Structure 1
């Protein structure tokens, strides 16, 4: 029994650990511009998404929590797109090999077409955020500065995350931003 508890604890820690106590970046900071490269080789930058609330999720296929989070984020993106809300979810594949990234991107693009998926081969994009374990979610204000950084994922967090996203959407009210996501 003790062996099973230790194995479960190890699995949880492998998906939810950050380097040190805090990431290098914190709310209010301006992060580096690069968000990775798409499966088709296009660079994605924060500056290219200026004016949108950006939700960045660092994930990998081996992380069960990440794979639970991805469909939720894709539904959020689809709903925001449908309602004309200035929101972009960027799912950054963290430190997996190119073949895994390409295969997974193709599958995600077919089943979750609204999701923008990029690749962080060496973990350099996640490093300034303190990403060493995953999932890690970062929310950016419309001006590209960091609003929130979350480590880990749990369904009990959904209301908090949606509340934070809705608050970001109404920070600079526009005609379309007054519609909340539920």
Structure 2
């Protein structure tokens, strides 16, 4: 297949109409960013999946991992999640893993969202108390992290808008190309 991920995403009609969505006003102001930066190994634990299994980034080493933090009240997040699911379905699990971390929704809201996303193939986890999000210094939604096959942060997009779609696609493509270039040596090694 000669389709690049960009062509695949464009062909799928990926139009994430995002806008900066700050956390609710009740969130206390923080000093300088304490979250991970590009090149850092991010916090590994991302909560429990729908089956109750702990999701650890270490289990996906050797794949590109896209982690999106979201909440049910974030309209742009709800537009992004189906597109990430399409991306996962079309890219498959060999090179890419998409994990969506729900942050601090009530039990009722979370259960309702899980019913609505029943057929999704992306891994859905839950951060009930916001501690996982705090480890990533999440201050705005949507918040997307691209983690390379080496387990280090390759890119981060915080509170992005529709005008950032091209850059996000470029980042995912870049990291996937790096993965593909290293895959033969990883298989042989």
Normalization by structure 2: what TM-score?
A: 0.76
Indicate if the aligned counterparts of 1:94 and 1:121 stay in contact, CA closer than 8 A.
yes
**Residue 24 to residue 169, structure 1, CA distance change in 2 (3 Å):** same
- 1:76 alignment partner in structure 2: 87
Number of residue pairs matched by the alignment: 160
Aligned pairs (5 A) from 1:92-103: 92-103=101-112
- 2:133 alignment partner in structure 1: 126
Whether 1:168 aligns to 2:175 is yes
Normalization by structure 1: what TM-score?
A: 0.78
2: CA distance, partners of 1:71 / 1:19? 31
Gaps of 5+ in 2: 1-19, 185-189
Indicate if the aligned counterparts of 1:65 and 1:153 stay in contact, CA closer than 8 A.
no
Indicate if the aligned counterparts of 2:23 and 2:139 stay in contact, CA closer than 8 A.
no
Deviations along 1:48-96, one digit per CA (max 9) or x if unpaired, are 1111100000001111111111111111111111xx6511110100111
Aligned pairs (5 A) from 1:128-167: 128-167=135-174
Indicate the RMSD between aligned Cα atoms, in angstroms.
Answer: 2.3
Gaps of 5+ in 1: 1-10, 176-182
Runs of 4+ in 1 over 6 A off after TM superposition: none
Secondary structure of 1:101 counterpart: helix
